[in-house]
Every structure is written in C-alpha cells, then in structure tokens.
A and B are shown apart, each in its own frame.
Chain A
Amino acid sequence: MTNETEDPVASAALPLSGGDRAANGAPGDQGGALFTATALDQKNARAERGYHSLFLLMSIVLILPVVAILGLLILRGGPAFSWEFFTEAPRAQFTEGGIFPALVGTLWLVVVALLASVPLGVAAAIYLSEYAKDNALTRLINLAIINLAGVPSIVHALFGLGAFVLFFDFGTSILAASLTLAIMTLPVVIVSTRETLQAVPQSFRMACWSLGATRWQTIRKVVLPNSVSGILTGVILEVSRTVGETAPVMFTGAVLFTPFLPQGVLDETMAMSLHLYMIATVIPDVPPEVPYGVALSLILMVLVLNSASIGFRVYLRGKKKW
C-alpha cells in the first residue's frame, strides 16, 4: 500500500477503500489520495471477488448434482409408491408386491441396535465428559473412538460374523446384525452426547457439589436432565446411519427373503438396504420403478431423520437458557 496515486485508474471508487465518496470524485486532491483505491487495492479486491465466486461456485457444484439426483429418484421412484408397496410382501420373484417385510426388518435392526448402543454410548460420553482426566487412558479412548468410526464397514461385517454369528453362536440373526450395527455406530452417540454434556456449564455442577451431592447425584439430577434433548439429537442421527448400512448386516442377519416376519431377535430378517442392493444387482426382471422406489424410500427415511435431528438442534440452541 506504499505506492501513491500516480495511477490513473486509482480514481475508481471501491467500496473497500473507505466511504469518502467526495474525495473519490476528486483525484489528485491531497485528502482523496488517502482514501482512493490504488492499483494494488484493486488487484486485491479482484482476487477477493474471484476467490469468493470460485468457492461459492464450488459449493453450488457440490450440491446441485445431488439435488438433481434426488429429483430423478422422485421422478422414477414416485410411481412405485402405493399403499400396497409399503404394506405387502414381495411376490412372484420380487416382480410384484411391496417392501413391507424389509421395512419391518429394518425397524427391528434399528431398535435392537439402539437398545445396545445408547446406554453404552451415553455411559462412555459421561465418562469422558465427567470423570476422565487428561491422561493417556483418555487419549487412548479418543483414539479408539476415531478408529471405531474409521474402520471400514466391511471389516465390521467380518467382525460381526466372527464374533456374534460364530463365536457367541447367535447365528445369522437380528441380534448379531444389530450388535454389529451398534458397535459401528457407537461413535456417533458418544461424540454427540459428549458435546452435549460438555455444553452444560461447570457452574451447574459446582452448585450441586457444594450442596453435598455426590458425583453421580450431580450427573443424574443436574447434568443429564439438562442434556436429554441433546442426547436425543445424537440418537436420531445414529438411527439414520443405522437405517442405510448394508455391508455390516449382509452376512450377520439380513437375508434376501424370508416368508415370515421376524418373531424374535434370533430370527433372520429382510432389510431395506440389502433389499435395494439385491433387487438392483442380482434379481432379474424386477419392474424398473421398484428399485427406484426402494432407493427413494431409503433416502427419504434418512433425510427426514437427519432433518429432524438438525431441526431439533437448532430449536434447542434457540431455547438454551445459558
């Protein structure tokens, strides 16, 4: 910015260079020289605008194709939607009927997975937020959480097969598949719950301790009641992850077809995600709108769950008292 205003273009008014419009209109004026754009200013402003537009364009390019894809799925999958599609079992080698057993199966898988992972995940988050000191063990736990989230889903599937199906002898069952899903999605619950717990102000805890409460009483009566809704947000997010997972369930409990709905956790089941994979790749002569319909239902379930979680989070942020 050291060069003075010898430059003829320097008189061009730039919003960046201050608000003194009168001075801008009078180039050469001693006062104006301080507030007019130099060539360097203009170059910087151009770079600024250029990069701003570039990154905005990138954001749009990232999001547009997905909107287009969603539109296409609605266009092609919409016609498959009917009352029958959601309430009947597939018939005639999947060429007729609906996806009811797959919906029910996915519900089973999600519920059992939640029963296992939510208590464990919340306990882990409470430990990390309320008990853990900054030591090697805590670092190890954090590292393990990152790894649990980063291990490929097919490796989780191998683990589920080796541990739950074979070693604990649950067979290919809802229980084995759900436990595999539970371990896979555990980091989602831990991370979101830990954030919620840490958002509770320390002064709340101190007030409680100073009344003579134990650590557990403080957690149960003060920390948890103030975080229930935040925990719920994380749980919804976990449900949305669980609904779409395919690889971890395909060898542990989900099957292409069962003539009966599952009666208990040791039964095999159909599942939405595996159903989509199978009718899209393996099964011949499926009417073309049917796989689109299944993909659309799956994506809608996930988007609705995620939107609910996000909406809930925004609502809570607005309501927060501290």
Chain B
Amino acid sequence: MTSSRPNRIDDRLDAAWIWDRIARAVIFIGGISAIVFVVAIFAFVAKEGLGFILQKLDLSFFFSSPEWRPAQEPEPEFGGLALIAGTASVTGLAMLIAVPFSLGVAIYIGEFATGKVRETLKILVELLAAIPSVVWGFIGLTILNPIIIDLFDVPVGLTVLNAGVILGLMAAPIMTTIAEDALKAVPDSYREAAEAMGATRWQVIRQVVLPSASKGLVAAILLGVGRGFGETMAVLMASGHAINIPTGPFDSARALTATIAAELGDTARGSDHYKALFSLGILLFLVTFVINLLADVLVRKGASDRS
C-alpha cells in the first residue's frame, strides 16, 4: 500500500490497483474466448477442407448426384445429394413432430399451467433434453426398430421414420424451452390489458401473446431445425445409414453428419476422402451458423418491436 514516488496517482499505484488491472486483462481474454473458438473451429475445419472444395470438388456434381463413393478406385465420386436428402428428410419429419408438440407444451407450461404442475413439467422437459444422443440412437436401434417392423409390416425399421421420430423427441424439449422463453418475454401488462377487456385466456394467447412472441417462436423452430440438422449419433444409429434418396418414411437414409462420423475413422489423413469429409464439415458449420444468426436476429427484432 506504500509508494515511493509521491505524485498525483500515488494512491492508485497500490497492489489492489495492479491486481485490478491484471484481473481485467485475464477476464477480457476469457470474455473473447468464445469468439476465438468459433473462428478457430472454422479455420481448422476449413484448413483441411477448403482447398479440396476449391480445387477438386465438382460442386455441381456434389449438389446433383447421389453417388457418394469416396473410396472408389481409381475415380472416387463425391455426390452429396443423397446425404443432403437424408438430412433434409429426417430433419423435416422430426420438425413435423417436434414443432406442434413443442409449441403446444410451451403454451401449456407458459400460459395454462400453474404452481406445482408447471414446475414439474418444466423439470421433466429439462430432463428430457438431457438424455444423450447416443442413448437416443440406441433407443431407435433396439426399441423403435422392432416396433416399426411390427406396426407397419416392413422388413427394415431403421428408416427415415425411425430417425425422424427419435430426432423429434430429442428436439422437442429444447424447442419447448426456447419457445417458453419467447412467451415469457411478452410482458404481463399485455395479458392484463387483454383480460381487462374481457378476453378469455385462449383469446389472450391467440390474439395477444402469440402474435407478440411470434418472432421468438420462429427462432425456437429455427434452432430446432439447426439442432436436428447437426445431430450425429442418434441419426447415425437410427436412420439405417444407406446411401439412398429416400422416397418415403420407410426408406433408409444417410445424413451428412452421420457420414462424417462413420467414415472419418477409416480414412488416411490427407487423402481426398479425408478432405471431403472436412468439406462436409464446412457445409454443416456454415448452415448452422446461418440458422443461429437468423434466430438471433429474430429474437433481437422481437424484443425491439415490443419496446
């Protein structure tokens, strides 16, 4: 606490002040770490995959051909259409299930339920969201698979339907939580004003709460899509993993994420196949980046519309 130099900032040059400076610097580094990591993720994935996209990958072939034969000699083929169709069909089916359910449950938790019921439901939804994806995949593989075979009398149960249901069950709790946050962001004064006009609770929800929360709800759906798009283990285990453009829910399919997970272990580092898988990684990164960005913009816009 003593200083040898008597000057104007004498009382500032003590240990506490120095520690404050050090702490500020360290905390600032922590603060920007998230930015550093996102940039680093893109940089490292692009480092392995971008050169391949620019030099070797025929993009029009990638987006138009279902022929994914990365290990074929001497001419490997990198057609991504089947993988994109697989991801799209599984995610689409999952959203058909998850969107109505998550919105319904969010409205129930946020607007109808009270007290203990509400708390219990919130906790259950949170627990659902915590089940690891490999366990979901296992459930699809061992429990849903025979159920689908018996119920629909089909030879294979590892299909778009299976993966879609599993993914829907996985995405619904997360979307519910985000959608409920969006409903919670609508100020109570809006509800009170409508109720004071004699509106029933459902009228309040439909005509006041939902329109006001619409951007946040769309963001919840978008984040659910992003989640389904990026899900790996569950889709790998439940979809059948067949390279095939699915024509119905009982066809097997293969997702972009699952392709990387299944093939990366068998590739030689630096080979075209290895780089092609990193190119798929770039595609996944960019799509989820755009989805997250859009969701963020929507939430921000929803908040500023209200204020």
A residues near B, CB below 8 A?
1, 16, 44-45, 47-48, 51-52, 54-56, 58-59, 61-63, 65-66, 69, 72-73, 119-124, 126-128, 130-132, 137, 140-148, 150-159, 161-163, 166-167, 183, 186-187, 190, 213-217, 219-220, 240-241, 243-247, 250-251, 273, 276-277, 280-281, 291-292, 295, 298-299, 302-303, 306-307, 310
Contacts and interface: CB of A to CB of B under 8 A. Distances in A.
B301 interface: no
B30 A55 contact: no
B230 A154 contact: yes
B63 to A, nearest CB: 20
Given A152-B230, A154-B260, A131 B28 contact: yes
Contacts of B264: 157-158, 161, 251
A45 B199 CA distance: 11
Given A158-B277, A273-B134, 6 more contacts: A54-B104, A132-B31, A150-B291, A154-B261, A214-B16, A214-B19
9 contacts: A55-B112, A66-B131, A66-B169, A72-B143, A144-B38, A153-B230, A154-B261, A155-B284, A190-B34
Contact of A147 (B32, B38, B48, B281): B38
Contacts of A302: 130-132, 135
Given A127-B27, A216-B23, A273-B132, A143 B296 contact: yes
B134 A215 contact: no
A127 B127 CA distance: 30
B141 A154 contact: no
Contacts, number: 273
Contact of A277 (B23, B31, B33, B137): B137
B53 interface: no
Interface in B261-304: 261, 264-265, 269, 277-278, 281, 284-285, 288-289, 291-293, 295-296
Identify which of B27, B202, B285, B288 gathers the most chain A CB atoms within 10 Å of its CB: B27
A69 B139 contact: yes
Given A147-B38, A152-B229, A155-B41, A55 B105 contact: yes
B101 A295 contact: no
Nearest to A214: B20
Q: Chain B at the A interface: mostly helix, strand, loop or mixed?
A: helix
B19 A216 contact: yes
Interface stretch (B2-10, B65-73, B118-126, B149-157): B118-126
Contacts of B139: 69, 73, 295
A131 to B, nearest CB: 6
The 3 A-B residue pairs with the shortest CB-CB distance, nearest first, are: A244-B132, A123-B30, A152-B230
Nearest to B36: A144
Interface in B31-71: 31-35, 37-38, 40-41, 44-45, 47-48
Contact of B29 (A123, A216, A245): A123
A310 B126 contact: yes
Nearest to A166: B269
B232 A280 contact: no
Contacts of B288: 147, 150-152, 155
A47 B237 CA distance: 42
Nearest to B144: A69
B109 interface: yes
Contact of A155 (B137, B143, B230): B230
A237 to B, nearest CB: 8
B230 A158 contact: no
A66 B109 CA distance: 18
Contacts of B251: none
Contacts of B200: 16, 44-45, 47-48
A299 B134 CA distance: 10
Contacts of A141: 31-32, 34-35
Contacts of A155: 41, 45, 230, 281, 284-285, 288
B41 A151 contact: yes
Identify which of B101, B135, B295 gathers the most chain A CB atoms within 10 Å of its CB: B135
A299 to B, nearest CB: 5
